[in-house]
Structures are given as C-alpha cells and as structure tokens.
Structure 1
C-alpha cells in the first residue's frame, strides 16, 4: 500500500474503524439498540437471529487500539532508521512537542472553554475545591490522577484518554531514544512495567479491577510498547519483502483474516465469560493489542481488496476528523437526550436509565432509530466543521510561531 503525504492509508482506516466502534459503544450505552438481523440462512443451524451486539458492547477495547496506533505512528520515523540508517532523522524534541501541541491543544481547550461557559458551574460540585480540582486536572491533562476528575467529572468523560496521550508524549522522546538502540530489551521492560503495575495496583483481591487504575498511564505501557515494536517490524518487513510475490500476498491475506477472527473471538470471549468487564479488560489488554499488531503487519501485505476496506476515501475522511469526533461525540449523545431530541415521554416511577430501558413501549424502537441516526449525522458534521474551522487553522498558526525570519538589512 502506497503512502500518501507520509501517511500510511491502511493505518488511517484502522484508526477510523476503531473510532467508529468506540462511538458505537457509547451510543449503545445511551440507546440500548440491539443489533439483531433476521437470517433465514442460519435457521437450519438453530440460529434465529444473527447478532452484532457484541461489536458496540466491547467497543471500549478499541480505545487501546487508538493508543497503540499512537505509539506505532510516533515511533515510525525511528523504526525507518532501524530498517534503513539512511532514512531521514526523526524530529528533535522541540519540534516534536510543538507539533503535538498544535495537534492536541486547540480543539481540546475549545471543548473545555465551551463547557466552562455554557454547562459547568461551581454549584454543580459538592465544594469549590472539587470544582477547582476538576478544572485543574483537565487543564493539565491529569484527569486520571484522581477519581473525582476521572469518574465524577462534569466535563466529557472521554477526555481522560487525551490525558494518557499527553503523558505519553512527555516521556516519548526519551523512550524512543532508548527503544531505537535496544528495541527488544526496551519492549520487554515496558511490558514488564505495565504488568507489574497492573498486578500491584489495578487488580483487586475479589477478582475485579480498580476502575481508575486500569486506565492510568502505566497500565498502557505494554500497549504503547507493542505499537512501537510493531512499527519496527513493519519497516523491516517492508524493506525485506518489498512489493512481495503472489504467495506472500496470499499468506499475508490469510494471516490477516486469521488475526481478524482472533480479535472477534477474543472480544466475544470477554463478553460472554468474564465475571468482571474491567478485570477482563486489564487481563487481556496486552494480548489484545498484540493480536491487533499481527493484523496490522499482515494487512500491509494483504491483497488489494482487503486493503481497500481500510484505505478508501470514506475511512480516510473519518480518520481526518477522528480527533474532534472523539472529543465531541459523548456531548452530542448526552445533550440530545437531555434536550429530548428526538422527543420521548417522561419516565414512569421507578424507571432507571430512561428512555433506553423502555423496552416494549410502542414508541421505543422508533426513538432508538431516530436517536441513532441523529447522533451519527450531528457528530460527523460537527467534527468536520471543527476540524476545518478550528483544528487545522489553529495548528498552522502554532507551527508558524517562532519561525526563522530572514535577517533585515540595516539602513
């Protein structure tokens, strides 16, 4: 698969699908719309319905895929140098941080500003100190340091992932420098640190998991390490295989399909057998990300028909607006419901999780469908507008700051 403007098309596709699945998970939490499809073909086998409900219900695992892709893409310039020492040198830390700031900060701080102006007041908190802590933690990307700012926040709960990303950015230049010289050793150390942290702090004696600590930065070190090592293997395979032969393409396609099937089986296993979703998530985080890495490596050498699924204009567009999709989709979900768009009746006495729990009511399915359609349309339109009107223009301005100027002639 050819690269366009330095971007690898299939990675954009994987990012786009991962984003859509994460959004589908949050949508399912608010609508409970079951993805059931009648299938006469499966009835002889005793299957009356073919269900894809497991896709949104396990969508939280694809947050890990987004973080894995971050580690992969950030380390890619270093990986190219490992495969070919004559490749361009990676960016210096100063330029790296500048580009990361240009990418992350404008859209993120715009979201915080909108919430502080329109939807968050000190009176919404039990005390002024809780309000200030929530604001401070989001301004400094330290949401996951405190349970109140992670679970009890009044800002979009999805923003905690950006805190993890920024924490990774801060240490990435140092990690990348060591990882480039000692890839396997560094990968092993990062994975060991992640597993040690999970064992000591994330798991609970009763077979569950600590809701906050499973999503703190150290718990993701193994995911980032898998992404960085996959980048090295990605570049080495490209250098060794090149365009490849028909046999290579066939084997890669089969491996890609096998890895996809392993992803599906892993998610279904966690959905059906895990006594605690959080415990299963943290126990299988490393292995799930490793399977995704195998899928990525095989996909790069698979047949064009399979690659096209992850490298077409539609998924490229979704990938382009994915950052604002992630920031704003939860707000769209909650505000539509709070503003009763589409309308729904008042909750009966004793009802919980209204209106998604109104199963059996004549209006319920129609509301679910309308709510779902509105969510997707508004989220995509809003993300596109913010990407082109805020994110990209602001990033260009930031990147131009402190640019070298030509010396002026003295009179």
Structure 2
C-alpha cells in the first residue's frame, strides 16, 4: 500500500479490486489533472489538491489508495472524490470500497453544516441573494469558493443528516429521503459574524431545486451545506474572466478579491440589460455585458465570439484565464486556449457549470 503520510497528517487507505486497474488509474489521473496536480508513473499516480493528497498504486488486480490531509474535512473530501470516480470509472462493475484509518465510517461528516435562512434579497429580476447563518464557518473562508446546498426533496419536506459511509461517501439514514444537492458559489462570507451569501439564478420549471428554494425561501428555513471545494483561480497580473449568469457570482467575487495591480477583462453573458449588476473591484477592469435578448441560454455562440475577440497574448506566464458556462461552450473555449493560444493548463481554468437539457448534480459543475 502506498503511504507517504507524515506526522500530524490524517490518513485513510483502501484496496479496491477491479478488472482493469491500469485503465482505471489512467482515467483517474486524466480526470483529476483538471482539478489538481497529478504526477504519474507506470503503475502509480499521485494526486495533490489544496485540501489533501492521494497516492494510487496498481497491485495485481487491485488498486491501492492512500489518502492524506491535515484535517478531517480535507481527508473526507479526498475520500469522497476518489470513491465517486472509482465507482463511475469502473462501470459496469461495482467495486467494493472500504476505507480504514481516520475519518472512519459512522463518524460525523466533517464538512457538513446546518444553516438557517437569515434574509432574502432580490438583486435583479432573475437573481436572488439568500443569506444563510450558522456556526463554525471558518473553513468556508479558505481558498475554494464552491459549496453544495442540500435542498429538501419536496417543498416543506424533511430529510435526514448523514454520517461517513464505509466507501467514503456520506451515508444517509434509512426511512427518510435524501436531499437534492447542487453546487453554488459563496458570494460573500463573514465567519466571525456567522453568515454567508449565495446568489441564485431564478429559472422557470420544476427541474431547478435551487431556483425553487430561492423563490420560496424565508427567514428561519433550514438548509444544509457541504464544502468548500473547487472554484479557485491562479495568481497573475492580467486576467480574462468569462461566463454566463451562473458564473456571475463567482466573477463578482473574484473581482472584489483581486488587487489594484491586476488588469482584468471580464465578459458576462446575461439574459438582457435588466440583469446587469454593479461589480466592484480595486483592479483595472474592462467589463463587457453580452445580452441574449430573448434567446435561450446555451443556444448561442455570443460568449464564445466575445472571448475570441479579445486580443490575448499567447503563452504569457503572467496571465490567467477563468471561464465558466454551459458545457458545450466551455469545451470550445478550452480547446481554443489550449490549441490555438498554446496556454498551459496552469494558466487557465474552464469549467462547465451546467449542461443544456440535462438536470441533476452532475449535469455540469453547478446549477446556477
């Protein structure tokens, strides 16, 4: 079993039997290269994230995995990320995953918080801000911006609260429905005061539990959150930030955090002029709003054309591109910067926040 843990690190290990461990190792390394630093050898791989690390090693018909992190939440994140993708990439097999070590099965989920709606504010006709209050929010102030909101499965319905499962994923109590999880950006947070703001896009229809929650939320409502995870951006002098309205909360937060020495080109696709917001930044910002004006989200190339119209230097190490929108547009823009602009992976991030025609937690990276 691979194990590079050092003193004061939490450690968990598992040994997973699969029919093609080499194929599985390759798929895991390729996937996680988009989310962290991956070092791969012939029969081994090391995955390094800001919240922890994992070492994978082929041993006959088994894949040995050792996860390490400096705190329980980080270790739990490594375990759940690996478990989800070990299962996904092994289909149609269903591998048995049993972790040993720290953050054991039956223990509380360390990255879960129970929150209460404090207030609701209408930002634009299609964007609402929900302030959630709760305790022990310090970890949510760290580098990552994304959290999962756990919505009741039906209006006014109750759901149980999980513990850590044997496979590293949350185990939910029997007899109660599971909540519906969607990923959102923390717009603002004050851990000392015990609150965080979430900006939520309002959609029509029943396929958007976050929009339904935002539409009906009132002070005193309870909701769960897990995280944080993902949504970081690199350090640079010049930035290109681009996305649709689902990415607007993240773009607004990044702009507020950037220093006055930064130069930023920001492009945001929205429904119409009524959805424009005042975005504050100390940086030198050139902001462009792209209006669909009646066209459906995810059906145009407006954002793609606006991004490609920017005079962007090739292979400049002091630049960073951050893009988040519908999956098809993300793929085209990712290819554009990698193949045409020759931009190293370390200098850009392009993430699908949603996928047209597909609902659910894994339709993209976010629900809006």
Q: TM-score, length-normalised on structure 1?
A: 0.24
Q: Which has the higher strand share?
A: 2
Q: What TM-score do you get using the length of structure 2 for normalisation?
A: 0.27
Q: Which has the larger radius of gyration?
A: 1
Kindly indicate whether structure 1 or structure 2 has the higher relative contact order, using CA contacts under 8 Å at least 6 residues apart: 1
Which structure features the higher share of helix residues?
1
